[in-house]
Structures are given as C-alpha cells and as structure tokens.
Chain A
Amino acid sequence: MLAIDKKRLNELLRNMSRDFRVYAPYLENGTGKFAPYREDRELYLEMNTLLPPKDIFFPQTEKMYRFRTAGSALEIEEIEDKKEKQVIFGIRSCDAFSIDCLDKVFLSRGYEDAFYKNKRENTLLVGLACTAAGDTCFCRSMGLNPQEAVGVDLQVLDLGEEWGFEARTAAGEGLLARYRDLLRETDAAPIPTQEFKLKVDVEGVPEKLSRMFDHPMWEEISRKCLGCALCTYLCPTCHCFDVSGKVKGEEGYRFRCWDSCMFSEYTRMAGGHNPRPTKKERVRNRFMHKLCYFVERYGQLLCTGCGRCLAKCPVNMDITAVIRKIKEAEVE
C-alpha cells in the first residue's frame, strides 16, 4: 500500500490544492466543518465534523437564475456554476454513504438536478477510515463499514504513524499517480475500528414501518420534539429545499435554500391548510422518510448512523431509541 508519514499530510494537501479546490475538515469556532484547504491551519481529524459535507454539493442557499422585465418582455439569465475540479478530503464512511443517497435523489429516476450534478461530477472523494467510534456513532448498525467508504475514489487508512492510500476508482489511481513522489510503499496494517458503544438492529424496520402510519407510538415519540430544524440541518442526508425569490424593482433572482419537514410551515399550503398540522405528523414523517419511504423508493436507508442528530438534539431525540420502539411495537 502507498502511504505518507502523518506529519507530511499537509504537504500532500498543499500539492493537491495547486491542482484542485481541496476541502478538508477543520475546527472553526469549536464547530467541525469541511472548509477550503488552508496551509496555515491545522486539520481536524480526531473526530467527524459536526457539519456534514453536503453543503459542498447542495449549499444552504443557492441562486438559480436572474430575471429582468422591461415592459412586457422578460429576460432570464442563467447562473452558471464555475466548473472547478475539486477534492473532498477526509470523508467518513457515514458521510460518503450520505452522498450516495443524495446522488440517488438528485441524479437518478429520470431527472438530473443541474446545480447538484455540476458540482458532483467535478468532485473526487477521499474517504477517511475511522478507528474510534464516537459516543453517538452507529454506522456499523446501519450496514456500513467504518474503514471502507462507499463511492469514494480513494480510501485513506490509519496505519498508526502513516496514512495509507488505496485507490477505489480510476480517478483515485490518477490521484495516487499524480502525487506518487510524496508517497512510499509500506506493509503496515490498518488500525481496526474500536467496538461501537451504540448499536441498534434495523432488520425488518422498513417493512414494519409501512404498516405503522397510524400507530399510537408517534404521539408519544413526538411529544418532546421542539419542532426546530437542528436534526435536519445537521443530517448529512436531509435534502429538502424551498424555492424563493428576491425582487427589486424590475429585476430579481430566484434561489433555493434548505427547508425542514420539522417546521410547521413546511407543508402549509396557500390558503392555510396544513396536512401535517402537529408535531406528531411531522416527527412521523421524518422517521418514515429515513427508515421507510426512502427504502421503498431507492432500496437503501436514509440514515447513515453518523449520530449528529442524537449528539446535538436539545431534547435528546434518539433515532436508535425510535428504531427500538418500532421493533417492539405491536402491529396488527
């Protein structure tokens, strides 16, 4: 396996940043996030970032087009993304799988989202193996391998003193060839991942949930929910957005921005009717989407076990506890 001394990783990223726009994990004001590479800053590799990398492909606010009117004429100007080749370095298995989920949403089933596609197809993913499992991590329970990220071009393994690299695609091979000078052969073995403290059995849950829409459990589960969007905005897979506009005089622009099914106005229609009028319907929808609807549509769960919602929810809404409740629930 090719490897680099851990102390020289910055050198590799510096070289890479000459050829690509490189995103890597950093700690900013106590918040872990993916940010453009900066030579003078220390990487944050101890734990996963609090903010997932989804905003690199799906920014929280994104302009879509500009318009201008002159009399009865309308002029529309498309906003073109810069097609910049980029690399995201240090994606954990949970977040790599979330990108796979987003690919399904934005690129499959007959419609390709141009904004997402443009960024996605110009991006190489470099996975980073986890050797420690955080208190709220449960990716293994969701069927993922913390040492082997789905869909990445290159997998980085922790060899102790060195970072090891294994290509997973031709593009990954290309990256290794390009920076071959900085790498050396090693026969060191990867450090295995620690035992997970948090485990949950999700077997059979999607099928069971499809019969639990009217179960009284939702009333009880949703009681403590505050109806904020913290869980959905920290979630690497949540991808709902709202389209909105700004108009000034004769011109303006349309933009999209993240929205959350936990907000009461998310399903509020013109005229005021709301098909999800209370927390019960909204909380139910969130769990149904993650654990049932997405599986029905795309054949995979929309929860990757990253544990961010559990770590940060101010009322400790625990998706693993919800899964256990579903397993125990009596269904006709």
Chain B
Amino acid sequence: MNEITQKMRETARGLLNSGQVALVLGWEKGYPWYKSAPAFIDRGEDVDRLVFDEFCHNNLSKYLLDLVAVEGRIALFVKGCDSRGINRLIQDNQVKREQLYIIGIPCPGLKDPDDAAGKKQGDEIKDAAKCQDCRYPNPVVYDLLLGEKVPVAKRSSETQALIERLEKMKPDERYEFWAEQFSRCLRCYACRNICPACNCRECVFDRATPEWLGKANNLIENQFMHLTRAIHVAGRCIECGECERACPVNIPLMALNRKLINDIEELFGEEPAGLDPEKKTPLGRFELDDPEKFM
C-alpha cells in the first residue's frame, strides 16, 4: 500500500468516526487491475476500500451535483484538475464551499488504462494523454493536503501537437478531420455526463420540445452536438480531460477544448478556469476593452 492510500484511509476514518462528515468520496480498486473506480464511503469500517494509484482518473467533483440533498458535510479527495472542478461548481452556484471538506492530493500524473489492457502489472504503461501537459497537478483549493506538492513539468503533449497540426491545415482539411472524428460518435453522452462543467439542470440535447438536436445519428447532428458543447464549456473547461478518456471511440475532444482555452487565454489574458471561485469567467462577463477581433 502506498503512503497516500494509507493517509487517505486514516483521514477518512477520522472524519467519519468523529461525525465531521456524512460521506467521503474517493476511489477504490476496480477490475481489471488498471481501473480504479469512484467510491462512496459513509461508514468508518469501509474506509479500507479507499486507494490512490495511477488509475484514479474520475473527477469526483461531478458527483456533488447528485449529492445536494445530503445532510452534513461531504469530504472528497481531489487531484489538481479535480479541485478546479470544485471551484467551477461553486462559481456556478451548484455547491457551497462550506458543505465540503476537500482533501487535496498532489498528483504525480496518471497512466492510460487503455494502454494497460492486456499487459501485466509492472509493465511499462503510457502516461494518460490528459496528464501529459497538466498545468495544475497540485490542488488549488483544499482543507487538507496529503503529501508534498509536486513540481509542474512543462512537457509536450499529444493534444498540443494535434492542435498545432490542425492550425496548419486549410479550413477544408480541418473540416474533413473533424467530420471524420464526429462521424463515429455514438452519441452515448459519456463526454457530457462525466464533465464537471456540464451542470445544466436540463441539457439542451435532452429537450424534446423544441427538439434542438435530433436523435438521428448522423454527421450533421453529431457536429451540432459537439460544437455546441465545446462552445458551452469554453472558458469553463478545467482540463480534467475526462471527456476524452470516457469517449469509447477515441474522439480527441481535448484538442477542441484546449484550442478554445488557448484562444481565450490569448484574447483575454491567462485565466484558466476554476482557479478563483470569486472571479467571473472570461466569456461570462463584459469589459469595455474586450477584444472585438471577430466583430
């Protein structure tokens, strides 16, 4: 057992047994060995299910939307990216900071479970795409930090390399690229449902009257869905990369999200989402000196 796992269990046990929190959100070992799954612990005797390893991908902040009715405080474990998700939800008035007990884990970067499929424990496994150029491995908000902060490594990522490749393309080539990606979308909505920036009470895609998005799976509807979603989360995406990890057909969704983040940062100054819960998002406020290049 690693040191963080041990500390997680001790912390969770203390919080539950003392009655400080009603529920702890963490991760537990799943199946196969390269999967770790969200765990909901509400009894001190269950804390030994908790683990932290290089497969703890799930951003648990998303579950806070399901738990608004829980009486008492909720403790949750967060990596750097996950912690930005909490700030985002606070910003959107979805959760209250005082209802949470946030336990930060400086994140060493996770591994790609798809690359581990068929391999044995101990084999070399690729770094998860979403962790390759992580800018905030250390939680930005917490009540307790487990372990020492980790340095931010400036690394190249597959996502940024793809963005550079796309930027060099002619518009028609770029259209072709994305058309090919979106044509294989299954419309399972795993990307939306796992996203902590997607917190509308009723999603526009689920509305039957009016039916903004048709149910047919075809390129036009799929494109409409993905572009609407990309624009809707622009300025609010906290780069947890969960959409891309959840996608069963490998659509490089983070290239879309990250490109929008790059553009927003270039236009409005460096303002990654989910750092400051008090500050309005760049696309959610108006300033007289906002750039108007597109007008």
Contact = CB atoms under 8 A, between A and B. Distances in A.
Interface size class, chain B: 35 or more
Given A29-B249, A311-B117, A316-B36, A244 B190 contact: no
Interface in B140-176: none
| Most chain A CB within a 10 A radius of its CB, from B31, B58, B180 | B31
Interface residues of A, number: 47
Contacts of A224: 37-40, 63
Nearest to A231: B188
Contacts of A255: 216
Contact of A223 (B40, B180, B190, B194): B40
B188 A228 contact: yes
B162 to A, nearest CB: 13
7 contacts: A50-B248, A198-B31, A228-B193, A233-B188, A234-B248, A311-B117, A320-B31
A265 B208 contact: yes
Given A50-B248, A314-B242, A61 B30 contact: no
Contacts of A60: 186, 217
B35 interface: yes
Given A228-B190, A230-B188, A312-B248, A136 B32 contact: yes
A264 interface: yes
Given A61-B218, A134-B118, A242-B215, A30 B194 contact: no
Given A228-B194, A229-B189, A230-B190, A315 B184 contact: no
Contacts of B214: 244, 246
A315 B118 contact: no
Interface of B: 30-32, 35-40, 57-58, 62-63, 66, 117-118, 180-181, 184, 186-190, 192-194, 206, 208, 214-218, 242, 245-246, 248-250
A31 B62 CA distance: 27
B58 A315 contact: yes
A242 B218 CA distance: 15
Given A244-B216, A312-B248, A226 B40 contact: no
A144 B35 CA distance: 26
B251 to A, nearest CB: 9
A190 B66 CA distance: 52
Nearest to A311: B117
A197 B217 CA distance: 36
Interface of A: 28-31, 47, 50-51, 60-61, 134-136, 197-198, 220, 223-224, 226-230, 232-234, 242, 244, 246, 255, 257-260, 263-265, 268, 279, 310-312, 314-316, 318, 320-321
Given A50-B248, A226-B190, A264-B206, A316 B216 contact: no
Contacts of B32: 135-136, 197
A253 to B, nearest CB: 10
Given A136-B32, A224-B37, A257-B215, A314 B246 contact: yes
A312 to B, nearest CB: 5
Nearest to B67: A223
A135 B117 contact: yes
Contacts of A315: 37-38, 58
Given A198-B31, A224-B38, A320-B31, A314 B215 contact: no
A229 B188 contact: yes
A196 to B, nearest CB: 12
A220 B245 CA distance: 24
A316 B31 contact: yes
A314 B31 contact: no
A233 B208 CA distance: 21
A268 B38 CA distance: 28
B117 A230 contact: no
Contacts of A136: 31-32
Contacts of A28: 184
A31 B180 CA distance: 13
Nearest to B246: A314
Contacts of B246: 228, 230, 314
A61 B217 contact: yes
Contacts of A265: 206, 208
A232 B192 CA distance: 16
A314 B189 contact: no
